[in-house]
Amino acid sequence: MESDLSQSFQKELTCFICLSCLTDPVTIICGHSFCRACLHLSREDIQPPVRCPLCREQYGKKLRTNIVLKKLVSIVRQASLMKDLSSEEQKCVTHEDTKRIFCAENRIFLCPLCSNSHEHRGHRHCPIEAAAEDQMDRLLKQMTSLWEKVQENQENLEAENRMRTLWTDYLTLREEMIRTEYRKLHPLLCEEEEKHIESMRNEGQCVLEKLRTSETMMVQKRKELREMYQELLAMSQEPYVVLLQGLDDMFRRSESMQLSMPQPIKTELNALPITGLIESYNQFQVRIPLPNITMIHHKINLFNAMRRLSFRPHRTNLDYRS
């Protein structure tokens, strides 16, 4: 009976997606619960609307932590940790006592007497249960930070794809505009027109090539970030005994990966002059001597001053009339 109850309890704390104990459990609108990371990964390649993996009901992007389930999972993990520590292989050989102290410097388990020894006395110590919870919190924060970078990279990739299409359309429109201007100004300058178009096309193709290179880098970055995220997820599902052995190298790789994010490139074309355009506009210029401009400026200022004076009532006149 007790065994059946334990199995039923364990089943309720199992994620349907990864089939492991829930990690940072979230409950969606239909009431079913999954690992937060499992939902993130499962919905990435699914076109909206996104549905529950169990009942197929639609749910939104916002995910809320199930606090009760999270506490229950912590209790189960702590009980599993205590069971592992009570085994013979985890007992102190010297003092034949259970190792319940965690040494943060050496990242090893110690019995109370060993933690007070000359070798470890100056080190930071804490109960293994507390150290395990802290390590799990660090891991979940790292996963949150990494997933934000996954989303940022995906948004940049989608923007780069849209920009490539828009840039191609813009080059076509720019070419039409250039041809229109040449036909209006110089119908006979065919050679200059083609040189201008060719220069614009070459520059536009260079930008397109940069966009393709940037897109390739983002696709590769997406792969690396997802692999790193899956590695962190796999580690989060390990028992606390394994989790405490050290994740510093994994954290360093994750943080380093987040620092080097490919950024969208700026798209622009140089404004090449159209032959004869300036000469055509010069015929509409009007030269005004500087003294005349100065005189006009003074007259305008004087007119504005007089206008302000004429519309400003005199204080004594108002008082007299009233």
89-99 tens-digit pLDDT: 778 878 778 88
Burial class (CB in 10 A: 0-12, 13-18, 19+), 26: buried
Q: How confident is the model at residue 273, as a pLDDT?
A: 62
Encoded amino acid at 244, one letter: L
The rounded distance, in Å, linking the Cα atoms of 199 and 174 is 12
Q: Do 148 and 116 have their domain in common?
A: no
Q: Percent of the chain at pLDDT above 70?
A: 81
pLDDT: which is higher, 140 or 118? 140
Q: What angle do CA 13, 15, 21 make, to 5 degrees?
A: 55
Q: How confident is the model at residue 274, as a pLDDT?
A: 59
Among residues 269, 206, 258, the alpha carbon closest in space to that of 228 is found at 258
Q: Do 117 and 208 have their domain in common?
A: no
The rounded distance, in Å, linking the Cα atoms of 242 and 81 is 10
pLDDT at 238 exceeding the cut of 50: yes
Most confident of 60-64, 102-106, 135-139, 171-175: 135-139
Provide the domain limits for residue 261: 130-269
* Count of domains forming the chain: 3
H or E segment to which residue 34 belongs:
strand 33-35
Q: Do 73 and 95 have their domain in common?
A: no
Q: How confident is the model at residue 187, as a pLDDT?
A: 62
Q: Residue range 53-79: average pLDDT?
A: 90
The rounded distance, in Å, linking the Cα atoms of 144 and 158 is 21
pLDDT tier at 272 (50, 70, 90 boundaries)?
A: low
Q: Do 119 and 135 have their domain in common?
A: no
Q: Running DSSP on this structure, what letter comes out for residue 89?
A: G
**Could you tell me how far CA 49 lies from the centroid of its own chain?**
22
Q: Running DSSP on this structure, what letter comes out for residue 23?
A: S
Chain segment 177-204, per-residue pLDDT in tens: 888 877 776 666 677 778 888 888 888 8
DSSP letters spanning 259-320: HS---PPP-----PPPTTHHHHHHTT-----HHHHHHHHHHHHHHHHHHHHHTS--HHHHHH
pLDDT at 220 exceeding the cut of 90: yes
Q: How confident is the model at residue 315, as a pLDDT?
A: 41
Q: How confident is the model at residue 219, as a pLDDT?
A: 94
Q: Do 156 and 64 have their domain in common?
A: no
Q: Residue range 55-71: average pLDDT?
A: 90
Tokens of 126: 């804490």
Q: Do 227 and 149 have their domain in common?
A: yes
pTM of the model: 0.72
**What is the CATH classification number for the domain harbouring 6?**
3.30.40.10
- Mean pLDDT score across all residues of the chain: 80
Residues 6+ apart with CB under 8 A from 130: 102
Chain segment 134-173, per-residue pLDDT in tens: 999 999 999 999 999 999 999 999 999 999 888 888 888 8
H or E segment to which residue 125 belongs:
strand 125-127
Angle between helices 128-185 and 36-44 (to 10 degrees): 30
Q: Do 218 and 255 have their domain in common?
A: yes
Q: Do 134 and 242 have their domain in common?
A: yes
pLDDT tier at 288 (50, 70, 90 boundaries)?
A: very low
Of the listed ranges 97-101, 122-126, 286-290, the least confidently predicted one is 286-290
Q: Residue range 289-314: average pLDDT?
A: 41
The rounded distance, in Å, linking the Cα atoms of 292 and 200 is 44
